[in-house]
Amino acid sequence: MRVLGLESSCDETAAAIVDDGRVVLADIVASQHEVHAKYGGVVPELASRAHILNVVPVVRAALERAGCSLAEIDGISVTNAPGLSGPLLVGLQTAKAMAWVTGKPLVGVHHLEGHMAAVYLEPDPPPMPHLALVVSGGHTSLVRVNDHAEVVELGATRDDAAGEAFDKGAKLLGLGYPGGVMIDKLAQTGDPTAVRFPKAMTAASTGAEFSFSGLKTSLLHHVRAHGIPEGQALADLCASYQAAIVEVLVRKTRRIAQRERLAHVQVCGGVAANSGLRAGLRAAGAEDGFRVYIPPPARCTDNAAMIAAAGYHRLLRGERAGLDLDAVPSLALPRPG
Ligand code: KG4
Ligand code: ZN
């Protein structure tokens, strides 16, 4: 089954064509980082306008790369939740128009379910059930993946997402947007033990919840007290801040993997591109005896191949969306019970 995937929930306009939820024929991403960089974050109205300009060229490019026509597509999968409402609507209306014109089946995909599907495109995907650590710009969740399209969120962040902690930290340090990439780069040459950050929600919390706002506040206090450092000191501060974020993510993940008795753990979402997190989780897995699966960095950040892969499993189950499919800007994953 050949699926066309469309993603426009935030600041990437992406289209991809994937066969049988496994074989990527085309994977096109138009990023808007330059549009938002000077604001230090995504400006929703500017994002909507950029999506409108990019969406048709991106779909055309994907079809061209795959060497097929719309008529040769078997289904259309689109991110319809959660995300920024204007940007979501651009992808959704485009997908609906294509479904209407071609008569092909349409499904809506939850963006986080899409992130979790990125690793299914790899040669050695995790078996079911497994644990997923989903870390993006807007979400931080631990999810029990019982099957494709059957997920249960065990816990999420109470305040900022891990990506937000990176982005807000980078903004504070004047590093631009998206901040995670900049902090990751600087951290490579820094000393992670140089600055001590409070351990966010350690012994007190044994659940699967996260909190990152305290960390961001301590960075703010540090900068107020010492100013923004330069050179090696900046690299040290970035390395320490990154280590504090990674430490919480790794500790919670290993605790919940143990509690749920899951021996396979995947990490996905933009922050899964972080070199410190990738290394930290692999080390924890080697120590605790769980296997770690992480998509390549380009499939951690927003793309449409993951949306096509997730949609494939829903189409396979016979799911079909009508042309009344709506964009839902905030939609949590299913919780237990
Ligand atoms: O999944 P994604 O592309 O978009 C959302 O669904 O939000 O994630 C974007 C987030 C941003 O917060 C960005 O700073 C972060 O992922 N990110 C990183 C890295 N690359 C992207 N964070 C840490 N290290 C990275 N290398
Ligand atoms: Zn995302």
302 Cβ inside 6 Å of ligand 1: yes
C-alpha span between 63 and 53 (Å, rounded)? 17
Q: Give the tens place of pLDDT for each residue, 157-193.
A: 999 999 999 999 999 999 988 899 999 999 999 999 9
Which protein residue has the closest C-alpha to ligand 1 atom 16?
Answer: 270
179 Cβ inside 6 Å of ligand 1: yes
C-alpha span between 308 and 251 (Å, rounded)? 32
Whether residue 200 is predicted with pLDDT greater than 90 in this model: the reply is no
Whether residue 204 is predicted with pLDDT greater than 50 in this model: the reply is no
Please give the distance, rounded to the nearest whole angstrom, from the Cα atom of residue 263 to the centre of ligand 2. Answer: 25
Q: Give the residue-averaged pLDDT of 78-92.
A: 98
What does the block give as tokens for 51?
A: 């999506």
Atom of ligand 1 nearest to the CA of 166: 14
Pairing type for strands 130-135 and 264-268 reads parallel
Asked if 200 and 306 touch (Cβ cutoff 8 Å), the reply is no
pLDDT at 337: 83
Please give the distance, rounded to the nearest whole angstrom, from the Cα atom of residue 163 to the centre of ligand 2. Answer: 10
Whether residue 4 is predicted with pLDDT greater than 50 in this model: the reply is yes
Which protein residue has the closest C-alpha to ligand 1 atom 24?
Answer: 274
pLDDT at 203: 45
Give start and end residues of each alpha helix (H) in 27-84. 33-37, 44-66
Q: Give the tens place of pLDDT for each residue, 26-81.
A: 999 999 999 998 888 899 999 999 999 999 999 999 999 999 999 999 999 999 99
pLDDT at 201: 57
Q: Taking Cα atoms as reference points, which of 252, 247, 240 lies closest to residue 210?
A: 252
Q: Give the tens place of pLDDT for each residue, 297-330.
A: 999 999 999 999 999 999 999 999 999 999 999 9
| Residue 72 neighbours by CB distance under 10 Å | 13
Whether residue 97 is predicted with pLDDT greater than 80 in this model: the reply is yes
pLDDT mean across residues, the chain: 96
Candidate of 42, 301, 307, 333 to mutate for ligand 1, largest count of ligand atoms within 8 Å of Cβ: 301
The set of residues, in sequence order, having a beta carbon less than 8 Å from that of 208 and lying 6+ positions away, is 142, 154, 155, 156, 252, 256
Q: Taking Cα atoms as reference points, which of 333, 312, 334, 311 lies closest to residue 79?
A: 311
165 Cβ inside 6 Å of ligand 1: no
Pairing type for strands 106-110 and 75-81 reads parallel
For residue 135, list its beta bridge partners. 140
- Domains present along the chain, CATH in parentheses: 2-116+300-316 (3.30.420.40), 128-294 (3.30.420.40)
pLDDT at 202: 55
pLDDT at 143: 98
Per DSSP, 37 falls in state H
Candidate of 9, 31, 166, 175 to mutate for ligand 1, largest count of ligand atoms within 8 Å of Cβ: 166
Candidate of 181, 182, 188, 303 to mutate for ligand 1, largest count of ligand atoms within 8 Å of Cβ: 181
Atom of ligand 1 nearest to the CA of 276: 24
Q: Give the tens place of pLDDT for each residue, 251-269.
A: 999 999 999 999 999 999 9
Which range among 58-72, 114-128, 187-201, 216-230 shows the weakest confidence by mean pLDDT? 187-201
269 Cβ inside 6 Å of ligand 1: yes
Q: Give the residue-averaged pLDDT of 81-108.
A: 98
pLDDT at 78: 99
C-alpha span between 326 and 141 (Å, rounded)? 24
287 backbone dihedrals φ, ψ, rounded to 5°: -75, -45
pLDDT band at 205; cut points 50, 70, 90 = low
pLDDT at 39: 87
